[in-house]
Structures are given as structure tokens and as C-alpha cells.
Amino acid sequence: MDALELRKLKSMIEHRMEQLQGEIAEAKSFTSKKLEQDDDPSADLDLTISSSVDEKVLADHKSELKRLSRNLLWLDSDDAGLCRVCDCEIPVNRLLAVPDTQVCISCAD
Ligand SMILES: [Zn+2]
């Protein structure tokens, strides 16, 4: 991976992190707005369903965000772009496609 590819990858990760942070903030405000609804039984049912979905999405977003910020640090380290399992160099196209991974395709299987 050359300097240009590294820069491209890092800016992609930063962009994705901003997007996730925005979605997390939105999901949170959506959930708290829902909680303020009155006691219409059908609204409660909607709330139960959608809040469990929101929580799942929120948890997924948060763990992706954690992996992305970990990878930003990783890309600045001496092990940047090296598979954590077999130590081979991960092709930059794989990192661009799956920016939150630290393993090559063969090790991911
Ligand atoms: Zn590997």
C-alpha cells in the first residue's frame, strides 16, 4: 500500500465514521422522541418493535465505529495493512471494501 492509497483509505474510514456518528445521534434522538409519546396501546407496540431494532442497529454502528477507529490507529502503526493472523500484506482493495477488517481474505474464511 503506497502513501496515496493509505491516504485514500484513511479518509474513507474518517468519512464512514462521521456517517456512523451521525446515524447514532439520529437513532438516539429518534428513540427518545418515541418515548415521549402518550399511552396509545398501538403506539406502545410500535415503540417496542422499533426500539429493539434501533438498539440492534445502534449496537452494530457502535461496534463498527470502534473497529474503524482502531483501524485508523493501526494504519498509522508499523503493522499497517498486515494481516493480524498470517502477517501477509492485505490487498488495499480489500481494505477499501471492508475498511474495518484487520485480516486478509483467506484468514477471514
Ligand atoms: Zn491472513
What is the tens place of the pLDDT at every residue in 15-62? 999 999 999 998 888 767 666 665 666 666 666 666 777 888 899 999
- Could you write out the DSSP letters of every residue in 42-88? HHHHHHHHHHHHHHHHHHHHHHHHHHHHHHHHHHTSTTTTB-TTT-P
CA of 84 from ligand 1 middle (Å) equals 7
Question: Alpha-carbon distance 41 to 47, whole Å?
Answer: 10
Kindly report, residue by residue over 55-96, the tens digit of the pLDDT. Answer: 888 999 999 999 999 999 999 999 999 999 999 999 999 999
Centre of ligand 1 to C-alpha 51, Å, is 38
Find the 78 Cα to ligand 1 centroid distance in Å: 17
Query: 74: CA distance to ligand 1 center in Å?
Result: 16
Ligand 1 mean position, distance from CA 60 (Å)? 24
9, exposed or middle or buried, with CB in 10 Å at 0-12, 13-18, 19+? Answer: buried
Provide the 8-state DSSP code for 36: T
